Structure 1
């Protein structure tokens, strides 16, 4: 089963090109370590939330842009081996010398997929989400995700991926738990929707919101939407779909 290493990173907006080069240089190394895909999404439509949002998740400053990124591995075992080998790889040491972002505020963890519908690498725009799932609601969330994936792909999405936190790390400054104010016993969902472009995404969302299958009805939502963080990201680097 595949495995996801998910990241959210604050990058000075002026460092966009430097970050792109940094990510491009990392692609070859991660492929050598067993990764099947490296994706970097540059924040494009990242709203401010009343309680939580992507900017607060990484304490982003006014002159910074938030990135939603992930590395896909064939399995958790391959990811674990890659992380061990990475520490001894001289390329990692070279990249760490001049990081174009504040690594102390980057958040990352390991996630196990619960749903993967569509084909990777066909999208150039991505919606990213992180949400808290109360204990006991995991199956209800899976059921909702199955319906949502069907609807989104009908309206133009090329891929929908849903994952649950598996190796969720505590950070000194920032982490996923703080990002969504996770409570004891809650599972962290890390998810994304890939679209061919932003126009297709905007048109698709309009249809999704009007689709009766996406109306909650009498059933309560299996997660706290007020603490979910979300945003739209333009592809900056994608090892499958080329560079933006």
Structure 2
């Protein structure tokens, strides 16, 4: 199954072009290290939540935009090998030193896919989601996602990916666990829906929400702590 390294960042809105250039410059090197696909998306429709949200996950200020991004690998072994190469390659020092964002607030972690339906690549709009999941409900979550994923495809989505953490650590300032207010006995899930464009996403979501198969009654997670948003792709290798 595909292994995902997921990221959340707060980037100064005025530095959008600088961030795109930064990511584009890093892409060839990451491909060399073993990243199969790298996607960087810029916050476009990121709502504020009552308890938690993507803004709070990265402590984003009013002059900042939330970025939702991910790397895809064939498996965990490929991801770990890539990480080791990154740590030992001097070229990465320049990439990190010149990052146009506050790296201390970057949220990141490794996730193993439990459901992947549709075809990857070429998305014109992305819905990103992070949520808390009971640790003993991993299998049930996979079954749930395999059931609802095709509903999104029927209503216009091109791909739905759902993954569960197996390498998410506590950070000094921010992390995925704090982002979802993780409680004892829970793990974090990370996923996204790829759409052809924003118009297709808006129409598709209306149909998805009206579909009786999406009641959510059997969802094995706390939807009240789920954080999500709509994003425009900047880089998709």
Calculate the TM-score normalised by the size of structure 1.
Answer: 0.94
Contact 2:122 2:236 (C-alpha < 8 Å) held by counterparts: no
Query: Residue 51 of structure 2: SS of its match in structure 1?
Result: coil
Separation (CA, whole Å) in 1 of partners of 2:135 and 2:236: 34
Q: Provide the C-alpha distance between the structure 2 equivalents of 1:45 and 1:223, rounded to a whole number of angstroms.
A: 23
Paired residue for 2:16? 16
**Structure 2 residue matching 1:87: 3-state secondary structure:** helix
Correspondent of 1:231 among 225, 229, 232: 229
Cα distance between partner residues in 1 of 2:99 and 2:116 = 32
What is the CA distance between 1:220 and its match in structure 2?
Answer: 4.9
Deviation at 1:138, TM superposition (A): 2.5
TM-score calculated relative to the size of structure 2: 0.97
Say which is worse superposed, 131-140 or 145-154, in terms of deviation.
131-140
In structure 1, the gaps of 5 or more residues are 240-244
**8 Å CA contact 1:117, 1:149 repeated in 2:** yes
Counterpart position of 1:43: 43
Instruction: Classify the secondary structure of the residue corresponding to 1:213.
Output: helix
Count the aligned residue pairs.
Answer: 237
Greater than 4 Å deviation, 4+ residue runs: none
Query: 1:221 Cα shift?
Result: 3.2
Task: Note the 1:154-165 alignment, pairs <5 A.
Answer: 154-165=154-165
Tell whether the 8 Å contact from 1:4 to 1:72 is kept in structure 2 after alignment: yes
The 1-side partners of 2:219 and 2:88 are apart by: 45
Q: What are the equivalent positions in structure 2 for 1:28-177 lying under 5 Å apart?
A: 28-177=28-177
Contact kept? 1:122, 1:158, Cα under 8 Å: no
